[in-house]
C-alpha cells in the first residue's frame, strides 16, 4: 500500500467516525462543510441550519435571482417578532463572483464579497466582525472557495467569544486541496446545552459520497430530526465553474395575509 493511499484510507475512516458523532449530536447549531465530491470534479459547499427557538425555526432557504446566491427568509412572516434578533436570523448565506464562492452564517457573507472587490482577503474581512451579540454569543462561521488561476484554495474561519471576557477569538484555516469524497466541517456549537457551548478545535473531516442529491440527503438525515431546519448544497464544477444547487426546507413558506 502506498503512503498516499494509507493517508486517504485513514482520512476516510476518520470522516466516517465524525459522521457517526454528528448523528449523535443533538444540536451542533449552524454548519458549513467544504470539500470535493467523489469524482473529484466538483467542489461542494454545504450550509445547514438548526434551531431551538421559534424565531430560529421560522426560517427557510431561498435562492435569489442571481444564480448561486442563497438567503434565509421567514417561513411565516406573521411569526416574525421585533423582539427577535432578526438581523442575525435573516441574511445572505451564499454568494459568488469571478471564481470566488463564499458561505457564512450571517452578514459576513456580504463583507467577504465587498472586501474581495477591493483586493482584501477573508482574514481582513473577519476583523470587521465579532461573535454574534445574542444570548448564546453565537460564533460566526465563514468559508470561501477560490478557483482563480486554476488553483483550488479554501479558507474557513470562526469568530467566537473568548473564555477570558468579552474578547473575540479568531480562528482561520487554509486548505490548498483535499481528497475526493471528503470535506471539512465547522459548526457553531459543540452540542446542546444552556448556555450553548461554542465549537472547539479545528474543522473536522466528513464524507461527501455520491452526487449532489446523495450529499444533501445523507447530511440532512444525520441532523437531529427535531432541531434541523434547512440545508443547502452547492456543487461547483472545478473546470467550468458551472454550479448546481439543492435545498431542503423542513418548513414551507406560508402565504402572507
Cis preceding linkage at 195, omega within 30 = yes
Over residues 76-90, the pLDDT tens digits come to 999 887 767 788 999
Q: What CA–CA distance (Å, rounded) separates 83 from 159?
A: 24
> Any residues with CB less than 8 A from the CB of 6 and at least 6 apart, and which?
none
- List the grid coordinates of 223: 441532523
Alpha carbons 35 and 60: distance in angstroms, whole number = 24
DSSP annotation of 159 reads: E
pLDDT digits (tens, 9 = 90+) for 210-233: 999 999 999 999 999 999 999 999
* Mean pLDDT value across the chain: 93
Do β-strands 228-237 and 42-50 pair in parallel, antiparallel, or remain unpaired? antiparallel
pLDDT tens readout for residues 164-193: 999 999 999 999 878 999 999 999 999 999
Tell me what pLDDT residue 153 has. Answer: 93
Neighbour count for residue 243 (Cβ, 10 Å): 18
* Cα–Cα distance, 124 to 121 (Å, whole number): 5
Does residue 140 surpass a pLDDT of 80?
yes
DSSP class of 253? P
Three cell numbers written together for 245: 444547487
What pLDDT sits at residue 45?
A: 98
Chain segment 103-115, per-residue pLDDT in tens: 999 999 999 999 9
Burial 105-120 (b: 16+ CB within 10 A, else e): bbbbbebbbebbeeee
- Report helix, strand or coil for 22: helix
Q: Is the pLDDT of residue 141 over 80?
A: yes
The closest of 64, 71, 109, 122 to 230, measured between CA atoms, is: 71
- Whether residue 5 has pLDDT greater than 50: no
* DSSP type of residue 1: -
CB 129 within 8 A of CB 170: no
Cell of 226: 427535531
Instruction: Return the CATH superfamily for domain 3-249.
Output: Inosine monophosphate cyclohydrolase-like (3.60.20.20)
- Which 3 state secondary structure label does DSSP give 256? coil
Q: How confident is the model at residue 145 (pLDDT cuts 50, 70, 90)?
A: very high
- Name the 3-class secondary structure at 70: strand
How, if at all, do strands 228-237 and 243-249 pair? antiparallel
Residue 94 vs residue 195, higher pLDDT: 94
Query: Closest Cα to residue 152, out of 134, 127, 177, 169?
Result: 177
User: What pLDDT is attached to residue 150?
Assistant: 79
User: Any bridge partners for residue 246, and if so which?
Assistant: 233
Q: Say how far apart CA 47 and CA 115 lie, in whole Å.
A: 22
Amino acid at each position: 500500500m502506498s503512503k498516499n493511499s494509507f493517508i486517504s484510507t485513514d482520512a476516510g475512516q476518520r470522516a466516517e467516525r465524525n459522521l457517526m458523532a454528528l448523528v449523535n449530536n443533538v444540536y451542533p447549531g449552524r454548519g458549513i462543510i467544504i470539500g470535493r465530491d467523489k469524482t473529484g470534479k466538483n467542489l461542494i459547499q454545504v450550509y445547514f441550519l438548526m434551531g431551538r427557538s421559534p424565531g430560529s425555526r421560522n426560517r427557510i432557504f431561498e435562492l435569489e435571482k442571481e444564480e448561486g446566491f442563497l438567503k434565509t427568509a421567514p417561513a411565516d412572516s406573521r411569526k416574525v417578532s421585533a423582539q427577535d434578533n432578526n438581523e442575525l436570523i435573516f441574511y445572505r448565506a451564499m454568494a459568488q463572483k469571478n471564481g470566488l464562492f463564499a458561505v457564512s452564517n450571517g452578514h459576513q457573507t456580504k463583507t467577504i464579497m465587498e472586501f474581495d472587490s477591493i483586493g482584501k482577503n477573508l482574514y481582513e474581512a473577519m476583523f470587521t466582525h465579532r461573535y454574534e451579540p445574542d444570548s448564546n454569543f453565537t460564533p460566526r462561521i465563514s468559508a470561501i472557495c477560490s478557483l482563480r488561476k486554476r488553483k483550488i484554495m479554501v479558507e474557513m474561519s470562526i469568530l467566537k467569544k473568548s473564555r477570558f471576557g468579552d474578547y473575540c477569538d479568531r480562528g482561520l484555516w487554509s486548505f490548498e486541496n483535499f481528497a475526493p469524497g471528503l470535506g471539512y466541517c465547522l459548526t457553531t456549537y459543540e452540542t446542546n446545552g444552556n448556555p450553548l457551548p461554542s465549537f472547539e478545535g479545528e474543522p473536522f473531516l466528513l464524507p461527501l459520497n455520491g452526487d449532489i442529491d446523495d450529499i444533501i440527503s445523507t447530511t440532512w438525515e444525520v441532523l437531529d430530526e427535531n432541531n434541523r431546519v434547512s440545508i443547502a448544497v452547492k456543487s461547483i464544477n472545478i473546470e467550468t465553474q458551472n454550479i448546481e444547487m439543492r435545498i431542503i426546507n423542513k418548513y414551507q413558506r406560508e402565504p402572507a395575509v
